A and B are shown apart, each in its own frame.
Chain A
């Protein structure tokens, strides 16, 4: 015979469950730099990506349970490609994608027993920094429109605080990458991150057609070695 559980308690339990799952993972940061948007994940895997291309100007970053956010990524790529094929490539927007993600996550959170243990960022690079869009989505389908930078995952608060101290508008790629890596190192007191344990990608507004690009380890190393002048 089932016990009565109040809706408040039920939602709170689910939210606690999802938060705990997300807090176990490593962090990801997303921040603006002068030529676009930079994504940095503390992720040593070369095959299981936390950062991915969705469309010409749109990319996706996630933390939490791999199979769950991978599902959302596949859905997002299909959504973008169907809309771009049916209408025009310009008609695929991060706002639209953030909306369907929010609705999907919200439905999963309220209607199923097990919520998704994920947190996402959907970002679209604009023609100039002021038209960049960064949306952060949480496991219950809430959406926040972020400016400048976002940190998510385990120890997200410590990372966000470290990023807040380092972030400035209009940083170069090297400066932004250094700020991101130093902030990710704030996850633990003795964490040191090397190029090969980082997954780094950019949406570079000066490229053509598909603006998403992954940075190989050699390039990360050389950027981290540059003087922040």
Chain B
């Protein structure tokens, strides 16, 4: 039964029936189940490379998130870099985690996308097994465990750091959680940014953020902040008006996750770029 297990995942090869493990009561966690059944499929269970890998593997860059009354908006640029080469100009780094949360990644793109896939299945699996969804903190903690599982890889240059944001149904607010490569989980207030351009994006958000932002204005603040990140960080891509490649922008509110349409974001990006012709530094904040 052990041989062939990884190829025919869920059949006992000679009988075709579900192996005993599938029918045991027990965990509602997909990751835990997979760890018992087929551990080599989990991102955290692999042997890390013996020497640190260089810059040749694509890295995702800047992500921003801004909360507003009744929800949160998350946005990411579309660039992945491998050293000084643009590896991908239309990569997507912001994803729907479940109905009421969004996840985005910065760092090694391949491992990041795998963690996102696993996290999406994890949330849905729990919901189906238990008949209820995890609390927002529960989801955030679950993600912390996955990031911690990648620590050995991170030490060899394959670090992934996610940003997690969701709508908290009990409090009727949007909440943002950031992580460090060791699995530390931190709740952020108001807004946050991760990735290589995050320093610049956070500086911009500091000046643009207001507690009473509308969802549209919060999304616009994200696009402005990403422009500022792209302005000063070579690894962050700005809005590409010639190819019509714009940031991925998604909101999470009581109505659920919604990714803004290409035309909506396109109009926003066009307005931001137009505004920069007059004022290359973007909107100015009052001095006093």
Contact = CB atoms under 8 A, between A and B. Distances in A.
B16 A49 contact: no
Contacts of A107: 15, 17
Interface stretch (A97-105, A143-151, A161-169, A190-198): A97-105
B10 A85 contact: no
Contact of A79 (B10, B117, B131): B10
A75 B21 CA distance: 8
A186 B50 CA distance: 70
Interface of A: 47, 49, 52-54, 71-72, 74-75, 77-79, 81-86, 99-101, 103-104, 106-107, 210
B152 interface: no
A72 B23 contact: yes
Given A82-B10, A100-B18, 8 more contacts: A53-B128, A78-B10, A78-B22, A81-B124, A82-B38, A83-B9, A84-B121, A85-B118
A100 B16 contact: yes
Contacts of B186: none
B185 interface: no
A104 B23 CA distance: 10
A74 B128 CA distance: 9
Interface in B13-46: 15-18, 22-23, 25, 30, 33-34, 37-38, 41
B190 to A, nearest CB: 30
B125 interface: yes
B129 interface: yes
B25 A74 contact: yes
B18 A79 contact: yes
A74 B129 contact: yes
Given A77-B125, A86-B9, A71 B23 contact: yes
A103 B25 contact: no
Interface of B: 9-11, 15-18, 22-23, 25, 30, 33-34, 37-38, 41, 117-118, 121, 124-125, 128-129, 131
A14 B131 CA distance: 33
Contacts of B17: 100, 103-104, 106-107
A212 to B, nearest CB: 9
Contacts of B41: 85-86
Contacts of A85: 30, 34, 41, 117-118, 121
A75 B124 contact: no
Given A75-B23, A85-B41, A86-B9, A104 B121 contact: no
Contacts of A47: 131
A72 to B, nearest CB: 7
B12 to A, nearest CB: 8
A210 B127 CA distance: 12
Contacts of B37: 82
Nearest to B12: A103
Nearest to A67: B25
A54 B128 contact: yes
20 contacts: A47-B131, A71-B23, A74-B129, A75-B18, A75-B23, A78-B10, A78-B125, A81-B30, A83-B10, A84-B121, A85-B117, A100-B10, A100-B11, A100-B16, A100-B17, A103-B16, A103-B18, A104-B18, A104-B23, A210-B124
A71 B106 CA distance: 39
Contacts of B117: 85
Given A74-B25, A74-B129, A75-B22, A82 B15 contact: no
A99 B10 contact: no
B128 A79 contact: no
B118 A52 contact: no
Contacts of B34: 82, 85
A74 B10 contact: no
Contact of A81 (B18, B23, B121, B131): B121
A81 B22 contact: no
A71 B121 CA distance: 20
Contacts of A101: 18
The 3 closest A-B pairs by CB, nearest first: A103-B17, A75-B22, A104-B17
B9 A77 contact: no
B22 A79 contact: yes
